[in-house]
Structure 1
Amino acid sequence: MDTAASPSKVGVLDKAAMILGTLASGPFVLADLVAATGFPRATAYRLTTALEHHRLVARDAQGRFVLGPRLAELSAATGEDRLLTAAGPVLASLRDTTGESTQLYRRHGQMRICIATAEPPTGMRDLVPVGSVLPMKVGSAAQILLAWEDPESFHQGLQGARFTAAALSSVRRRGWAQSISEREPGMASVSAPVRDPSHRVVAAVTITGPLQRLTQHPGTQLAESAVDAADRLTEVVCHS
């Protein structure tokens, strides 16, 4: 974890940057954040809540500090315009074809961020708002974003994950991933990779829905659609 870049000599900014760098490795309760940064508890709390006010930091369902949605918005404004512009109609078409919720995720450290989504107008949905910060330990999108990583990142990412190295080997072989009740009981998902010109995975297209519709083998009915949508976005990225 690289949280110790050269100080800028603007102390408060250096400390804020260190907090953000620390949170890139995953959720932290305040006590662990204090231990990781070496800041006094009052300082860590004051800076972290200030960053939370500006949506650079958020809290997960357990109340732990995580990277906030504003980071995804800033990232989108600095070079991902073509991908995001294309994602809207591609996800909407995928939603209309499958009848299920669709999302686009990018990895940020040890978390993944939803940067685009399309929800069906009615029925049981898996609503994930744009800017949602989710863990890299569960879900088919996390599998996609980890499966093709370098060996060090790959093995580090598997620590505490709900999926195994063997599962990710299968993901690489077939080109898509599925999950069943990993992130949320009763829900399933299928994801496929979006790649850049160097063939690096830069995002994951995901279809999510209830098990009662997707069954215990969601990839059987949805993998082809997910891969097709991801390939359409890969073409945008590679020709932008």
Structure 2
Amino acid sequence: MSSLDKMLSLLDVFTPAAPVWATDDLIRYSGVPASTCYRYIKALHSAGLLARVANGSYVLGPRVLEMDRTTRLCDPVYIAGTPVIRRLTAETGYSSLLCMLFSDSIMCVQEALAENAPSVLFSRGQRRPLVAGASAKIILAHLPVHQLRTIFSRHRKSIASVGLGADWEGFRQILREIKQAGHVMTYGEYNHGILSIAAPLFNRSGDVLGSLALAAAESEIGAAEFQKLAGRVVEASREVSQRISNSANVVDLPARAIG
């Protein structure tokens, strides 16, 4: 890991469960000499990525808010997808999500929550495992083979545990079937009792960017009845993909599994 990677990794420790970190704790987490960590903290603070609070502790800085605003104004999936998922939620009565592949995980870009949405549903900025759930599986089904090989080698046990295949050939076959179907439905793979249907989002070059999903609690609707909404999800995902293609400011960056 480079020194830059080590410095940026300090940002990973700031979470809703642990939003404030003392300098000494950051030094212990970093695993580098104290003098080096002080330089990292100073650089992150100067860039506005960290802000100093009482007793020599730090929180995420205002630059993060600025970057979030830029993303909301510029991200093609967020811009094209937000009005579509809001309409889908209004019409179906169930929550809708936009997700993208980020490193070895899936990240929520935007959510449109139904009135009685389960509290465990994805929300903007949250990450989930790469292989669990409909939002992840539909993206995996459209990734190039070389990326899938890397993912399979890293997550073989998790892949088998969610029924995506016990070996490479089984993994590829199941993903081919998902891709051919154009959508996938899962139940309780990440949160117990949650049904989800997802369809892919593409850029103008036909590369997968992310996914659009509809989610509901099984207590609200049975699996067979929920499956009937798959066509609505596919239709919405196609509309978002078309909006992305028609945007004048879109950079055609496909989903990447990195890290």
Q: Same fold (TM over 0.5)?
A: yes
Q: What does residue range 160-171 of structure 1 map to in structure 2 within 5 Å?
A: 160-161=158-159, 162-164=162-164, 165=171, 166-171=173-178
Q: What is the CA–CA distance in structure 1 between the aligned matches of 2:189 and 2:6, rounded to whole Å?
A: 35
Q: 1:124 to 1:200 in 2, by over 3 A?
A: same
Q: 8 Å contact 1:101–1:125 — kept in the other structure?
A: no
Query: Which of 133, 143, 146 in structure 2 is aligned with 1:152?
Result: 146
In structure 1, distance between residues paired with 2:87 and 2:221: 18
* Distance in 1 (alpha carbons) for counterparts of 2:147 and 2:36: 28
Q: Does structure 2 retain, via aligned residues, the 8 Å contact 1:126–1:208?
A: no
Corresponding residue pairs, total = 205
- What is the rounded CA distance, in whole Å, between the counterparts of 1:227 and 1:155 in structure 2? 27
Q: TM-score, normalised by structure 2?
A: 0.65
Q: How does 1:60-71 map to 2 (within 5 A)?
A: none
**Aligned residues: percent identity?**
19
Superimposed CA distance per residue, residues 32-75 of structure 1 (whole angstroms, 9 cap, x where no aligned partner): xxxxxx943879998699879328xxxxxxxxxxxxx9798377
Return the offset for 1:113.
1.2
Alignment match, 1:35: none
TM, length-normalised to structure 1: 0.70
Which residue is 1:198 aligned to? 205
Trace 1:77-156 onto structure 2 (pairs within 5 A). Answer: 79-80=74-75, 82-122=76-116, 124=118, 126-156=120-150
SS of equivalent to 2:7: helix
| Of 175, 182, 185, the match for 1:175 | 182
- The answer to whether the Cα contact below 8 Å between 2:203 and 2:209 also exists between their aligned partners in 1 is yes
- Which secondary structure state, in structure 2, belongs to the residue aligned with residue 131 of structure 1? coil
Name the structure 1 match of 2:250: none
CA contact (8 A) 2:197 2:227 kept: no
Give the superposition deviation at 1:103: 0.7
Distance in 1, Cα, partners of 2:137 & 2:203: 18
Measured on the aligned residues, the alpha-carbon RMSD in Å equals 3.7
Distance (Å, rounded) in 2 between the aligned partners of 1:147 and 1:101: 23
**Aligned CA distance change for structure 1 residues 15 and 216 (closer, same or farther; 3 Å):** same
Q: Which has the larger radius of gyration?
A: 2
Distance change in 2, residues 1:75/1:181 (3 Å): farther
CA distance in 2, matches of 1:177, 1:85: 24
Question: Is the contact made by 1:192 and 1:230 (CA closer than 8 Å) also made in structure 2?
Answer: yes
- CA 1:163–1:73: 2 relative to 1, 3 Å: farther
Checking the alignment, whether the CA contact within 8 Å between 2:135 and 2:199 is kept in structure 1 is yes
Runs of 4+ with >4 A deviation: 41-52, 69-72, 123-126
Tell me the amino acid that sits aligned with residue 244 of structure 2.
V
Alpha-carbon distance in 2 for matches of 1:71, 1:144: 31
Structure 1: gaps spanning 5 or more residues: 5-10, 24-37, 56-68
Structure 2 gap ranges (5+): 14-29, 51-57, 165-170, 248-259
| Aligned 8 A contact 1:72 1:115 in 2 | no
Aligned residue among 222, 231, 240 for 1:224: 231
**Aligned partners of 1:71 and 1:109: how far apart in 2?**
22
* C-alpha distance in structure 2 between counterparts of 1:220 and 1:195, whole Å: 23
Match of 2:210, SS? Answer: strand
